Amino acid sequence: DVQDIGIALDGDADRVIFIAEDGKLVDPIRLLALCAKDLLTENGGIPEKDRKIATPINSSSLLERLLEPLGYEVIRTEVGDIKVATALKEKGGILGGETSGTYIWPKYHYGPDSLLTIAYVLEMINRKRKPLRELLKEIPDFPFVRESFQLKEDIPFTKEVNEKIITEMNNLFQNLGKDHVKINKLDGVRFDYQEGWVMVMGFMV
């Protein structure tokens, strides 16, 4: 049997992950970019002042590289759907999303809503008469690696620790011949350079 799409929800249905017709998982940030791009042409498009999306600092730089040339402003927030929702409420915007599969549609409400997301994706597939994997061909695939490391002892992620990380990472980038590194300390420390980005942040379990 051939399946058109797979949809997986978490326990309280505020997160959703899609599986394309080829059986492979869809990166939530690529789907966020696809929806944002589609919104530009759906129902007459989006007024320029509303061309904003919100996403945490740990999301792919794909969003800036793809959406900013289309007139979008990408609002970066601390990690967490509440932070994304707050940014949308305070700064405006048409859509928000995280790497975990949460999507926020401010037109309706400011909570993560998997059902609205499912409805939009299914409608888009039907309207364009293309399967999801085919639609995603217009969205670049930026590979990434996420790793967790267990420390020997708890280290509070203080301002001093942040600065030490910045110093060590800057030395590493210089040794690798990387220049024009942009540093963002919104949540943890993120380093953006021409070929990609690296982020270090603490996580309490």
Q: Is the pLDDT of residue 148 over 80?
A: no
Name every residue whose Cβ is closer than 8 Å to that of residue 54 and which is 6 or more positions away in sequence: 74, 75, 76, 77, 84, 87, 88, 91, 93, 95, 96, 104
Of 16, 35, 55, 24, nearest to 127 by C-alpha is 35
For the stretch 80-135, pLDDT in tens is 999 999 999 999 999 999 999 999 999 999 999 999 999 999 999 999 999 999 99
pLDDT of residue 205: 44
Q: Are strands 52-56 and 95-97 parallel, antiparallel or unpaired?
A: parallel
Of 133, 148, 147, 145, nearest to 30 by C-alpha is 133
Query: Are the C-beta atoms of residues 52 and 75 closer than 8 Å to each other?
Result: yes
- pTM metric for this prediction: 0.84
pLDDT of residue 160: 83
Of 75, 113, 112, nearest to 91 by C-alpha is 75
- Cα–Cα distance list, 116 to 16, 18, 54, 152, 189 (Å): 10, 13, 17, 43, 33
pLDDT of residue 43: 66
C-alpha span between 81 and 97 (Å, rounded): 8
Query: Are the C-beta atoms of residues 72 and 65 closer than 8 Å to each other?
Result: no
Q: Where are the domains of the chain?
A: 6-138, 159-200
pLDDT of residue 1: 63
Cβ atoms < 10 Å from Cβ of 161:
14
Q: Is the pLDDT of residue 2 over 80?
A: no
Burial 25-50 (b: 16+ CB within 10 A, else e): ebbbbbbbbbbbbbbeeeeeebeeeb
C-alpha span between 79 and 102 (Å, rounded): 12
- Residue 165's pLDDT band, with cuts at 50, 70 and 90, is confident
For the stretch 104-113, pLDDT in tens is 999 999 999 9
Strands (E), 20-158: 52-56, 73-77, 95-97, 103-104
CA angle centred on 137, ends 197 and 33, rounded to 5°? 55
Q: Does domain 6-138 have CATH number 3.30.420.40?
A: no
Strands (E), 20-160: 52-56, 73-77, 95-97, 103-104
pLDDT of residue 82: 95
3-class secondary structure, 8: strand
For the stretch 19-74, pLDDT in tens is 999 999 999 999 999 999 999 987 677 888 889 999 999 898 899 999 999 999 99
